[in-house]
Amino acid sequence: MAASLRRRLLLVLVPVVLVALVVTIAVVALGGPGPADEAPPAAATGPAVPEVDTNGIRYAERLVVYNGRSHYGDEQVFRDFEAATGVEIELRGGTGPELFERLQREGTDTPADVLVTTDLANLWRAEEAGLLQGVTSATLRAQVPEQLHEPDGHWWALSTRLRIPVVSTERVPAGAVDSYEDLADPQFRGRTCLRTSSNEYNQSFVADMIAKRGPEQTEALLRSWMANEPEILGSDGEMLAVMAAGECDLGLSNHYYLGRALAENPDFPVAPAWPDQNGAGAHANVSGVGVVTGSDAVPTAVALMEWLTSPPAQAQIVARSEFAANPQVPPSEHIRDWANVKIDPIAVQEAGPLLDDAIAMMLSVGWN
C-alpha cells in the first residue's frame, strides 16, 4: 500500500516539476528576471497630500481663524464667507510670531482651525513645527500657482509682496538706483535707512539671498550696506515718513507700504526703484494660509481657503496695495503700472532652513 501511494505521488509531482522547469527556462531565455537579475523594488513614496472636495459638503458651524493679517483690513472677506455659507468665523488676531508661539503653547488643545500669517519665516516655522497639515484641492491648484504654495499643501499663498529699494523723488535722480547693491553706493553714505534686523521681512530677504547667492557674497553685500552707516528704524512705515521728511534718501521697504502712501497722497515724495530688472528681479515674499493640525473642520477650512484665493476675495486683498496670489487678479488701480515688474520668488524650501543663519549674519555685520 505504501508503494502504491508513492507511485501515485510521483505521478502527480513529476509533471508539476517538469512544467516549472520549462517555465523557468523560458523566462531566462526571454531575458526575464532571474536570481542574479531581479527587478528592483518599487521606490518608496511618501503619503499623498489629502485631496479635499468641497462640493456639496456639510459646513461646520464655526471656524476659529488665527489671523496674522488682522491689521491689514481684510475682515470683510471673512464676513462675506460667513454670509455665503452660514459658517461663523471667529477671528483672533496677533502678529505672525505671536500666533506661532500661541499655537505652540496650546498644542493639541488649540481651538484654531486655520492660520493666516505673513512672510515665509512665519509660514516655514509653523510648517516645521508640525502646526499645519497638508491639504490640496482642484480649486486651490487652479487659483494658486505651483511656486506660491508649499509642495505638500501645508500652506497656500494669499498675496505676494516685494522687498525693494525706495528712493526720495526730491533728492535721488530717476534711474540712479536699480539694484540692491546700490544701497552701498558711497554717494548715499549717511543717507540710507533700514528696518531692524529683528523684522521677519528682512530675515527672509537675507535667507533667500544666502540660498541664491551663497553666504560669502551675501555677507559681503550686507557689510557694504553697513559701511554706508544706515539709520536703523522700527518699521517700513516709519522709514517712509523719515524719507518724506528729508532725513533719508534711500531705503528698503515692502512695496505695499509705499503703495498705501501713494493711494492716500499721489504726490508722496518717495518712489520704488525696481531692482535687478535685467537680472533675477525683485525679491518676492508671500503671506499665506494653512489648516491647523488637529482641526476637526478640514473641509470647511479648505472651503475658506478656496474663497480667500478666489478672484472676488483677492480683489479685496489687493485693494491695500499687495499683489494677488491668484494670477487672474491685477494690482489695485493706483499701482496698476507696477504689474509688469520682474520678480524673483523666494526659494521657500531652500531659504526656510537658513533663517537662523540669516539672523546670525545680520547681527555679525552690525545690522541691529
**Lowest-confidence region among 1-5, 85-89, 145-149:** 1-5
Whether the predicted pLDDT of 46 surpasses 80: no
Task: For domain 62-160+285-338, give its CATH number from 3.30.1330.100, 3.40.50.12280, 3.40.190.10, 3.40.50.300.
Answer: 3.40.190.10
Domain positions in the chain: 62-160+285-338, 162-283+357-364
Is domain 162-283+357-364 annotated with CATH 3.40.190.10?
yes
| C-alpha cell belonging to residue 40 | 528592483
How close are the terminal C-alpha atoms of the chain, in Å?
99
Provide mean pLDDT across the span 45-74.
86
Q: Are 243 and 249 in contact (CB under 8 A)?
A: yes
What was the pLDDT predicted at 346? Answer: 93
- The pLDDT of residue 170 is above 50: yes
Q: Which residues contact 298 (CB under 8 A, 6 or more apart)?
A: 50, 52, 133, 135, 291
The model's pTM is 0.83
pLDDT score of 31 more than 50: no
Per-residue pLDDT, 184: 98
Question: What is the per-residue pLDDT for 75?
Answer: 87
Q: Is the pLDDT of residue 203 over 70?
A: yes
Model confidence at 47, pLDDT cuts 50, 70, 90, reads low
What does the pLDDT look like over 336-350, one tens digit per residue? 999 999 999 999 889
Q: Do the domains spanning 62-160+285-338 and 162-283+357-364 agree at the CATH topology level? A: yes
Mean pLDDT, residues 124-136: 97
Helix, strand, coil percentages, rounded to 5, for the chain: 45, 20, 35
